[in-house]
Amino acid sequence: MKKFILPTLLLVLSLYGLSSWTTNETSEDLTANFIYGDPEIGSINALSFGPEGILFVGDSENAMVYALDTKDSSEKGNGDEINIRKFDQMIAASLGTTEDKIRISDMAVNPKSKTPYFAVSMEDGTTVLLRLKDEALENVSLKGISYSKISLNDAIDADAKDKRGRPQRMWAIADLKFHGDRILVSGLSNKEFASTFRSIPFPFTDSQDQTSLEIWHAAHGQYETHAPIKTFDVVSLNNQDYLMASYTCTPLVLFPMAELENGKHIKGRTVAELGAGNSPLDMISYKKEGKKYFLMSNTNRPVMRLDYEDIADFKETLTKPVTEFAVATGVPYDNLPFPYVQQMDNLDDSNVLYIQRTGSGELILRSRSTKWM
């Protein structure tokens, strides 16, 4: 997601040095250090838009973050209504293959042009970036594009495996988002406490901050330092910004952004256990009737809706195990009637765009008004 965070969120003016992007900075300012050519992207594990049509790409294979100038910066007030059936077949046909040989690894909507972008991995290892315009897919060249890039410090080793023997390099970058004037990146490092959160100034320099994280995982009944944040957002509580992070099996944890300092090890405050046997996929926020909500899509649960006020009012910290499988506790949530949503992003201020696998097995791309969410 993954997603440009709504500007109504307060920005941290602390050791992170976050400051909002202003109209005094032009696209030329932001891309002054870009070069044209082939960025040699190995994989696309996460997408997030920043200002002026700049698309950030998280590449776990190379442990790098790229900023791509899409030249897609025309202002559009509202996104088009979208309802495409058999979307995987549409993508496959545009690439000259079949749907069983592709995987959509992420989706992000350009908040300026309202154009959806899709990262697609093919069976032969090729990575493709597509965008949807006028109900037609366009290939965005990754061989000839204006870009800049930065390599992650202390990325998890390319051959690293977990205790079950599963490769872990894919989690070098689990999620990323543009916030203020920085790219925020969750993932794994090669350190003893592998769960890592990075803050990288943009335009890129040699600077990047990284913090190791620790959480209480109620469903597992233990403290953990090796699980990556699978998806996150930023929430302002009592005039202070917090990283709101979700992990596999599905704890929801708050970290004060001001405490996420370079080289530090920080324990988060677990405010919810949303059910074991599940992994979160995407997290976005929206407003409806003057109230703020968060949506979270999942591998094995319907889309969850969390009320901002419930998060703000919850003062406890979960410290005891949840011993019954799939039982939730802590901050309450609503299950929305949208199971098997694989990708999700804000289309505009009033609509959400999502990719969903229906009960019949069909993959659909659809927009929906937040009025009904």
Q: What is the pTM of this model?
A: 0.92
Q: Which domains does the chain have, with CATH numbers?
A: 27-372 (2.120.10)
Q: What are the CA-CA distances from residue 126 to residues 92, 108, 223 (Å)?
A: 13, 19, 38
Q: Find all residues with CB under 8 Å of 314, minimum gap 6, and list them.
A: 271, 272, 330, 331
Residue 157 tokens, joined = 């080793």
Rounded CA separation 349/329 (Å): 30
Instruction: Identify the CA nearest to 142 among candidates 70, 205, 72, 64.
Output: 70
The pLDDT profile of the chain, 373 residues, written as one tens digit per residue, is 544 444 443 333 343 443 444 445 667 789 999 999 999 999 999 999 999 999 999 999 999 999 999 999 999 999 999 999 999 999 999 999 999 999 999 999 999 999 999 999 999 999 999 999 999 999 999 999 999 999 999 999 999 999 999 999 999 999 999 999 999 999 999 999 999 999 999 999 999 999 999 999 999 999 999 999 999 999 999 999 999 999 999 999 999 999 999 999 999 999 999 999 999 999 999 999 999 999 999 999 999 999 999 999 999 999 999 999 999 999 999 999 999 999 999 999 999 999 999 999 999 999 999 999 9
Helix (H, G, I), strand (E, B) or coil at 183: strand
Contact 114, 348 (CB under 8 A): yes
Contact 230, 3 (CB under 8 A): no
Beta bridge partners of 223: 216
Contact 115, 72 (CB under 8 A): yes
Strands (E) in 100-208, as ranges, are 102-109, 116-122, 127-133, 136-140, 145-151, 175-179, 182-188, 195-201
